[in-house]
Each structure stands twice: as structure tokens, then as C-alpha cells.
Amino acid sequence: MNASVRTGWLLAACVVLSVHSAWGAGAQSPAERRTEFGIVIGSEESATTGTYAWKGVPYAKPPVGELRWKAPVDPQPWTAPRPTQQFGNACVQYGRIYGPGANNRYDATIGTTLNQAVGSEDCLYLNIWRPASPQGGLPVIVFVYGGSNVSGYTADPVYDGAALANSTNAVVVTVNYRLGIFGFLNLPQLKSGVDAIEDSGNFALLDLLKALTFVNRNIARFGGNPAKVTLMGQSAGAIDVYALLTSPLVVGGHPKLFHRAVPLSGGISLASNLPPGRIPTLSPASIALAQGNALLVNQLVVDGLATDTASAQAYVASHTPAQIAEYLRSKSPASLLSTLLTRLAALGLAGSGPIPDGTVLPTDPIAAINAGDYLRVPVLAGNTRDEAKLFPTFLTLLGGPSGRLVSDAQLFAIQFNYDPDAPPQITIEQWIPAFYLPVTTPATGFNARTDLLNSIFFIPSRDNVLDALKRQQPEVWYYRFDWDEEPAPFNDIYGAAHAFDLAFLFGNFGPSLFAKVEFSTANRPGRLELSEAMMQSLGAFARTGDPNTPTLGVTWPLWPAMLKFDATPTHKIISVE
């Protein structure tokens, strides 16, 4: 065989192997794949989105009945090909503007289901997008949504993975995981005493580990490289990424489940890790235990099984742990969430998040990083410049009034129907109290007060964790997102607010919660240019562990230097500080 023939034969063989790897053994079409649990049939969307997509792929059994507050287990295998063309249910949660409405999607019912139970406990599904090509061995980006660990859903249109998969030539995965008291619950009566992992109460983190295990074992069938997985999360999702980065289950686990980390607008600091007066991103296990006990006591009172705390505690003492667990598992999500909102919220016990139990999560994750006890992988972190402008009600913590006049229902209605290309349909005086106007007033203006809130909330946790990582490894990059070209007055109301970088990283500019007040025809050229640069940089990081790419136009230095992402209405502006 001469050299040219041999080369041609090798190239043909590589193409065949690549197609076989990407499509999976025995696949009849590019949208058919065989997972370890059965065949899934996705959507062939090459003509519309340029991708193949699989939505609602089960990675665990529904955590219902006896499986509520249990570690996730493998799904039941299926024998007939399973259609995976619709998103799986959102995990059960109480309605917020950041979650789904009644239909598991972004629609008008979000505004009418606030504080009501939405979603389902049958929710442990993930979604996969890949470019419409036969190429295998692609880097994998797994995304964990935010929502304070009490809300969120992968069907949020901001998280559609098609544009990102195309731009980065990567496989994109988004994961549903249990939320709130269904995802994190520390209650003695639920603990078996024989499984420290399950007894941790960190069911949401165990869900994410289960999803990453599914990716490790199956993603090659979708053309992904299981040895090149990037775990990315935003806000609560970033907290969860940091939690997994420090989890002993991950650090000592084999195989390695992810190889780069992208935590955006989050941290993993206890109050004891931060200077006095700062707001931590992690609560000690004792807070979760107080919440679990309060949920049980108050649910007994709500159900008429007790009249007050003392009689509820007596009721608990007269029943076995198994009986108490059975009682709580018999309660509907709506009943438990109602108790949470009407009784626990007043006690300051309505929040949720990773529980530093010592088994699934170290009792002090920052100390673990400082000791080198974490998964050492390249880290790409980010924040938005005006994080706190998404949380103006928190300005009461600084001694002033709430920074927002409209309710969540009013906010949703205004933003759902807004026309960004028309003259302003609201004034800033209708949105922000006069106390904070003009927004540019030194010290007391909205900009100054939200900057102060940012300096005690997001920035200390950022510095704490990134400085700890940098002492252990050089591979730490950081960006700040400064884009604030919204139509007036939303450029002042939101600016570069928390989560506003996500549309740019996913390349999705609507429809979604903020799209109609952010994105106008006038700012389209600049934001599209900026978005492409951000996606290209994320893609470079997923491939190589370094976010530098010629599309940036500058060299991205290591932390504590930062890259600033911004744009005029017509062009991107990327600079180093």
C-alpha cells in the first residue's frame, strides 16, 4: 500500500470511527443514541438550530414516595426507544419570577403562581445539545442553574444550549436538581445512621454527582469527551460548583467527574471566613438543622397534631424516627412549602443551600482549599459589575428603604409585555424610591448603595475563594461583566445586574424574564459581538483549560487581574484591569 493510499484509508477510518463514536453503536439516525439505560430519540434540528438535541433524559429514578429525601438511584432501564424531545419537569419549588409557571416554561403563568407550589418531584432529567456533525471527542460543558437553591429550571429559555454548542463546537448539558427543602434537609428523623452520604441531607449535590456520573458513562455516545468536562454554574449553581470542587466524594472519587470549573457570581464562604459584617454564601450545618426541626414542629401544628412547639416536640418524642419520616413523606409538596413560607420564613429559616456536614461537603470548604484538599482543576470565575441591582430589596440591610417600589407580580407583568424599541413605558420614579434618586448621587444614590451592598455581599466571598485557590494553583481566571446598554430607564435600574451575563454566555436574547427590558434593536450589534467573544472564550477554556482566544483581542491575565466584558451599542469592548 503506497503512502497516499494508506493516508486516505486512515482518514476514511477516522471518519467512520468518529461517526460511530458520535452516533453510538447501532444508531439509525443522528438523533438516536444508546445510553446505559436504553435508547433515546432526540430532535434533529440541523436546519433550524444547527444541533441535535435530547431533552428530558432521565439520569435517576423519580425521588418520590420512599425515595423523597434519599440519595438518587439509577433510573429504571427502558426497552423501547424513549422519545427525548421535551424538557423534563422542573423540580418542585414555590413560584418565583426566576422559576417556571404552571407549564414548565417561561410564560404568563409565572406571574400568577408566585409563592404557590409549581414543578414536580419527578424531575431528575438532563438535556444535551451537540453540533449537527458526526464529530466525536468534543469538550463537554455541564451547566447548573441558579435560583438561590430554591428555584430554577432547565427549560428556562436562557439556558437553551444550541447556540453555545454551535459556537464552541462542544456538547452542552443542563441538569435539573432538587431544590429547597427537597434538595437540602437536615433532620435527625430522616437519617438511617448507616449511610453518612445520604444522611448528609445534601440531596441536591448528590443529584448533581449522579448527573455527572451519567455524563461520564454516556456522553461519548453523544460525541462528548468524558475526560474533558467543564462544570459551570451561576449564582446558587456556582455555590454548588464550589461545593463539588471541595467535596470529599469528588476529591477522592474515581473516575474524575469534571476537569475545569466555571463558577459565576457565587462563593462558598462561611461567616467565619469573612471580615465582620459581610454576608456569607454558606451557612453552617446547625442552621440547616434548625430549619429541619422547625419544619417538622410547624408542620405538626399546621396539621393539628400539636398546638405549640412544646406539644409538637412531645409528639415527636412519642413516635419512632421511622414514623416521623413516614409522616413527612406523606405530606404534599404544596403543604410543606406553605409551612415554609408562612411560618419558617418569619424565623429566617426559608433559605436552602449546601450543608457543610463533613461527608459530602467539608465543614469549612475554604479551609479545605487552603489545605489543598479539593479538586485541583483550572477555574474560570466571573461576576457582574452591578450584582446587587438585582436585589434592591436587600438595601434594607443597610438601613434604608427597599430599593424597589414594584412587587414581583408587577415586575413580571411590566417586563413580560415591555417593548424595548418603543419610548419608555415606565419612569425610574415608578421603580426606585425617591430616597435613592438621582441614582448617581454620591453616598446615598442607588448606584452608591447597591455598590456598597455588593461590597459586603458578593465581593468578599469572591476574594476569599479565589485567593485561596490562587495560593494552591496558578490556573485561576476572572472576568467582570460591565454591559449596561439597556433601554432607559432600565440601564439605571439594572445596569450590569446579577445574572445578566448569562444571555451572552448562552447566546440567547429572548424570550426570557429580562429580555424585553434589556435587548433592543439599537444594542443588538454590540451585544452579539460581545456574546460571540464570551462564548468563544468559554469554548477555549472547555477545550484547553485556558480561556484565551484571538476573539478577545487582548490577553486574559491570571487572577487577581481581571478581564472586563463590555460593549457599546455597536461593538464589543474587552479590556484588562
- For 181-204, the pLDDT digits (tens) are 999 999 999 999 999 999 999 999
pLDDT at 2 over 80: no
**Residue 357 identity (one-letter amino acid):** D
Cell output for 443: 453616598
pLDDT attached to residue 539? 98
Q: Is 380 left (phi over 0), alpha (psi -120 to 50) or beta?
A: beta
Sign of CA dihedral 265, 146, 48, 102: negative
DSSP string covering 448-511: HHHHHHHHHHHHHHHHHHHHHHHHH-S-EEEEEE----PSTTHHHHTSSBTTTTHHHHHT--SS
Cα–Cα distance, 200 to 360 (Å, whole number)? 7
Considering Cα of 243, then 101, then 214, then 503, what sign does the dihedral take? negative
* Average pLDDT of the segment spanning 29-53: 96
**Cα separation of 405 and 555, whole Å?**
43
Distances (CA, A) of 251 to 73, 199, 269, 380: 21, 19, 19, 19
Contact 330, 323 (CB under 8 A): no
pLDDT digits (tens, 9 = 90+) for 422-435: 999 999 999 999 99
Burial 12-38 (b: 16+ CB within 10 A, else e): eeeeeebbebbbbeebeebbbbbbebb
153-183 pLDDT, tens digit per residue, is 999 999 999 999 999 999 999 999 999 999 9
Reply yes or no on whether the pLDDT at 483 is more than 50.
yes
List, as one string, the DSSP characters of 161-179.
-HHHHHHHTSEEEEE----
Pairing of strands 379-384, 171-175: unpaired
Inform me whether the pLDDT recorded for 9 exceeds 90. no
- With a pLDDT cut of 90, the percent of the chain lying above it is 95
**Segment 54-112, tens digit of pLDDT:** 999 999 999 999 999 999 999 999 999 999 999 999 999 999 999 999 999 999 999 99
* CA nearest neighbour of 265 among 234, 237, 223: 234
Q: List pLDDT tens digits, range 543-567.
A: 999 999 999 999 999 999 999 999 9
DSSP strand E in 67-133: where?
Answer: 82-83, 93-94, 117-118, 125-131
Grade residue 27 by pLDDT with cuts at 50, 70 and 90. low
163 grid coordinates: 447556540
Q: Is the pLDDT of residue 576 over 80?
A: yes
Positions marked catalytic: 235
Mean pLDDT score across all residues of the chain:
95
Question: Which amino acid makes up residue 314?
Answer: A
Report the pLDDT value the prediction gives residue 25, as an integer from 0 to 100.
Answer: 46
Three-state DSSP class for residue 85: strand
d(CA 520, CA 516): 8
Q: Which residue segments constitute the domains of the chain, with CATH numbers given? A: 3-272 (3.40.50.1820), 378-576 (3.40.50.1820)
Helix/strand/coil for 256: coil
pLDDT in tens, 380-391: 999 999 999 999
pLDDT-based confidence at 28, cuts 50/70/90?
A: low
Instruction: Tell me what pLDDT residue 477 has.
Output: 98
Whether residue 407 is predicted with pLDDT greater than 50 in this model: the reply is yes
For residue 3, name the pLDDT band (cuts at 50, 70, 90).
very low
**Could you tell me if 184 and 150 are in contact, meaning their C-beta atoms sit under 8 angstroms apart?**
no
pLDDT at position 29, please? 82
Q: What is the pLDDT of residues 342-379, one digit of tens each?
A: 999 999 999 999 999 999 999 999 999 999 999 999 99
**How distant, in Å, are the alpha carbons of 91, 138, 309, 314 from that of 305?**
29, 56, 11, 10
- Evaluate whether 274 touches 280 at the Cβ level (below 8 Å): yes
Query: For the chain, what percentages of helix, strand and coil (3-state, to nearest 5) are there?
Result: 40, 15, 45
Instruction: Please state the rounded mean pLDDT for residues 248-277.
Output: 98
HEC-encoded secondary structure of 93-108: EEECCCCCCCCCCCCH
